[in-house]
Amino acid sequence: MNRFILDTEVQLFINKHLRDDPVKLILVGSPFSKVSVQELAKQIISKRKCETKLPSWFATANIYYPDKLNIEQTSSEITANYKANLISGENLLDITGGLGVDDLAFADRFTKVFHCEIDKELSEIVTHNYKKLGIKNIETIADNGLNYLRRSKKKFDWIYIDPSRRNQFKWRVFLLKDCLPDIPENLNYLFEYTDQILLKVSPILDISSTITELKFVYEIHVVAVNNEVKELLFLLKKDYSEQVLIKTINIKKDTNEVFDSVYYSLSEPTYSLPESYLYEPNSAILKAGLFNEVSSQLNIYKLHKNSHLYTSRNLIDFPGRRFRILQITPYDKKQLKRLILSKKANITVRNFPETVAQIRKRTGFKEGGDLYLFFTTDLLNKHLVLVCEKVIQK
């Protein structure tokens, strides 16, 4: 950590050139003898990434920004606050502290938070930033979290873990046991020091496989922001063996779409040909695989077992997009072009043998406009096109 970056003149320079092209900046060189142009560029790039992801950090003077990879891998303030509202207690240990965004949110819910980070420079940066943010109840420890547990022998109300999704060779991994640290391998050891664990994993991990790798899961949260799944959260309780709840949320600017169920639910959907309205679940529900539960809980019909689109005669509130069906037609290029005079349409495929790119090439429709075309398969296994207009959720 180069503390000369925090000098007033350097900070003024960073803020003045925040919107400049870092490549051009590097070509000009640094005006400071103790801060390289590469360091200046890194601060500018990382700070810019925080403007929407970490607005509180961006708005605070003299924050020291680590490498952009640390910024990309950290939680946003939005998802950190969501996690913090799930748990509370006297003390929490984060064994994979990273940039410390989650711990900043946990600090409002716990008397004391312990932040372990094996990268000593990053731990130093986090310590500095917490001081600038006015945080006094987080203790930073520059050590491996598992080592700290062995040394401290403390009991914690909660242990929080966000394992690295890259192995020792820096390859992206797709199973929990391949992440660092190996949580399934160390789970019994962790439960010697706590009765409750909150585990954050990448949205690319398979939920069913992750449950199989773990023990004592009692709740799963699928967290999306503006219809993009950002995190999977697993809550574990020592010796828990009852049913698992799965909760989905799509956090939007003005509202949150929430849909919950029991995992491994035995509910059965009902099916129908398209009626007056069409519904497309949000990405959190799709990731959770709650296709049958949407039909049974909301009393609407699925179009086909594998289509994951729903229909009803009357309009309902729905955790996803809603459409009014204007026309139903078999998939025929000539008939479709006669039917739709506009040269633009938004195209979605669900359980259909062609891709969006293939359909656009075949039909000539450009992206955009007010029409929404759903290419799908109905319960009679017929390929069809639903011509729709969006219904705005109030």
Q: Tell me what pLDDT residue 73 has.
A: 86
Structure tokens at 245: 């709840």
Alpha carbon distance 150, 89 (integer Å): 22
pLDDT tens sequence across 359-385: 888 888 899 999 999 999 999 999 999
Q: Tell me what pLDDT residue 394 has.
A: 63
Q: How far apart are the first and last CA of the chain?
A: 49
Angle at 53 between CA 47 and CA 56, to 5 degrees: 75
Structure tokens at 28: 């000009």
In the chain, what percentage of residues exceed pLDDT 70? 96
Measured torsion, CA atoms of residues 269, 270, 271, 272, in degrees rounded to the nearest 10: -140
Q: Is the pLDDT of residue 318 over 70?
A: yes
What is the sign of the dihedral through the CA atoms of 61, 63, 67 and 72?
Answer: negative
What's the mean pLDDT in 195-207?
A: 94
Alpha carbon distance 194, 238 (integer Å): 8
Question: Which amino acid is present at 229?
Answer: V
pLDDT band at 265; cut points 50, 70, 90: confident
Alpha carbon distance 366, 343 (integer Å): 6
pLDDT band at 242; cut points 50, 70, 90: very high
Q: Tell me what pLDDT residue 126 has.
A: 97
Asked if residues 64 and 57 have their Cβ atoms less than 8 Å apart, the reply is no
Question: Helix or strand or coil: residue 346?
Answer: strand
Sketch out the chain's domains with CATH numbers. Answer: 3-71 (1.10.10), 75-242 (3.40.50.150), 270-391 (3.30.2130)
Q: Tell me what pLDDT residue 46 has.
A: 94
Q: Tell me what pLDDT residue 7 has.
A: 95
Structure tokens at 116: 């372990």
Q: Is the pLDDT of residue 304 over 70?
A: yes
pLDDT tens sequence across 114-150: 999 999 999 999 999 999 999 999 999 999 999 999 9
pLDDT tens sequence across 267-294: 899 999 999 999 999 999 999 999 999 9
Question: Helix or strand or coil: residue 260?
Answer: strand
Q: Is the pLDDT of residue 338 over 80?
A: no
Q: Helices 37-53 and 8-16 sit at what angle, rounded to 10 degrees? A: 60
What's the mean pLDDT in 222-251?
A: 96
pLDDT band at 38; cut points 50, 70, 90: very high
Asked if residues 141 and 95 have their Cβ atoms less than 8 Å apart, the reply is no
Alpha carbon distance 46, 64 (integer Å): 9
Asked if residues 104 and 138 have their Cβ atoms less than 8 Å apart, the reply is yes
Q: Tell me what pLDDT residue 80 has.
A: 97
pLDDT band at 334; cut points 50, 70, 90: confident
Whether the full predicted model's pTM is greater than 0.85, yes or no, is yes
Alpha carbon distance 391, 213 (integer Å): 41
What is the sign of the dihedral through the CA atoms of 165, 170, 171 and 176?
Answer: negative
Q: Is the pLDDT of residue 164 over 90?
A: no
Question: Which amino acid is present at 51?
Answer: E
Nearest to 388 by CA among 344, 315, 323, 330: 323
CA 335 to chain centre: 41
Structure tokens at 114: 């312990």
pLDDT tens sequence across 167-180: 555 556 667 888 88
Mean pLDDT of the chain: 92
Q: Is the pLDDT of residue 205 over 60?
A: yes
